[in-house]
Amino acid sequence: MTPRQRFATSLQKARRASGITQQELGDRCDLHRTEISLLERGGREPRLGTIIKLAGALGVSAESLCVGMAWDVKGQRYKFSK
């Protein structure tokens, strides 16, 4: 798993929980629906500003969209928790 994939899963889960479409989410945060789709499929790594926009539009914290991801300093790799 990669950070993109983990973020994609969290984003899709949050959007579905809010009961809105990709189009509506895009409209709420000034992103095109295809950008939302790319992010939800792990095809693009979001910038910090995009994460903040998405979180605000979904009414969740930016941290919740990045939950379970960490950097292992000694191992120089990403760590993922469940």
* pLDDT in the model for residue 1: 83
> What per-residue confidence (pLDDT) applies to 81?
86
pLDDT of residue 18: 97
Q: What is the pLDDT of residue 69?
A: 92
**Residues 6 or more apart from 25 whose CB is under 8 A from it?**
15, 18, 31, 36, 54, 57, 58
In a 10 Å sphere around its CB, with 0-12 CB exposed, 13-18 middle and 19+ buried, how is residue 25 labelled? buried
Which residues sit opposite 72 in a β-bridge? Answer: 77
Per run of 10 residues, the mean pLDDT along the chain (length 82 residues) is 94 98 97 97 96 97 94 92 80
- Per-residue pLDDT, 82: 73
Domain covering 3-80, topology: 434 Repressor (Amino-terminal Domain) (1.10.260)
Residue 51: what pLDDT?
A: 97
